[in-house]
Amino acid sequence: MDQSRELEGRNVIVTGGTGALGSAVVARLVRAGAACHVPSRREVRETMPGLHVTPGIDLTVAADVARFYGAVPDLWASVHLAGGFAMGPVDSAGADDLRRMLELNVVTTWLCAREAVAAMRRGGAGGRIVNVAARPALEPRKGARMSPYAASKAAVAALTAALAEEVKGDHILVNAIAPSTIDSEANRKAMPKADPAKWLSPESAAEAVLMLVSPVATEISGAVLPLYARA
């Protein structure tokens, strides 16, 4: 098999596929031969062959998620990059802020993982699931002044390990990446005094995702992979 086209003919779902990280992941997986299916709340122009965007999908709504996954044939991999971020000290946050982080980061991941497992079990050929945690999920002290976000990403890490154990008999491998700050236009604007040379490039994160969804990777499951770059 040509390793440069290791995903040839395989269908991969990428949530959050229109964001800075998601766009890099989609581009890398398409170069590897995948057909990438991306859910979106709004209309988005498809910018490359191999990219298929489905509008009108709210990943916090179970029926929307089920409808989207049900339309993707022979699902090989599901990459869950959709989520949210909020920062602020504890006395500026309320219960609704915590619920929002849990909904955007945990509920969406769980709903998508549930549908991915069902689709892969129907196919009978196994598959790959990749979630996105964050550095504070593994180093909670890094979550100071963003505790609702840190708690939600820690839940994603726990979900990853638990689900990996549950579906290992189905030959479905479940892992997560845990990036530090990603070098994106939005982050550069939000943190103009920071040194982006220490940040993680979206392209480097995309290479890690490719490794985890590759058919060649047959033994890694339940891992939360730190991607800290030079931070």
Distance CA 82, CA 16 (A): 4
Identify whether the C-beta of residue 27 lies closer than 8 Å to the C-beta of residue 49: no
Q: In the structure encoding, which two tokens stand for residue 223, read together? A: 């891992």
Averaged confidence pLDDT in the chain: 95
Superfamily of domain 3-227: NAD(P)-binding Rossmann-like Domain (3.40.50.720)
Q: What is the pLDDT of residues 144-164, one digit of tens each?
A: 999 999 999 999 999 999 999
**What's the confidence (pLDDT) of residue 46?**
77
User: Residue 1 — very low, low, confident or very high, per pLDDT cuts 50/70/90?
Assistant: very low
**What's the confidence (pLDDT) of residue 142?**
95
User: Residue 44 — very low, low, confident or very high, per pLDDT cuts 50/70/90?
Assistant: confident
| Pick from 216, 226, 223: nearest CA to 7 | 216
pLDDT at 3 over 70: no
User: Residue 214 — very low, low, confident or very high, per pLDDT cuts 50/70/90?
Assistant: very high
Identify whether the C-beta of residue 68 lies closer than 8 Å to the C-beta of residue 94: no
Q: Phi and psi dihedrals of 110, rounded to 5?
A: -70, -45
pLDDT at 2 over 70: no
| Pick from 52, 1, 48: nearest CA to 27 | 48
Distance CA 66, CA 90 (A): 35
SS3 183: coil
In the chain, the percentage of residues whose pLDDT exceeds 90 is 93
In the chain, the percentage of residues whose pLDDT exceeds 70 is 99
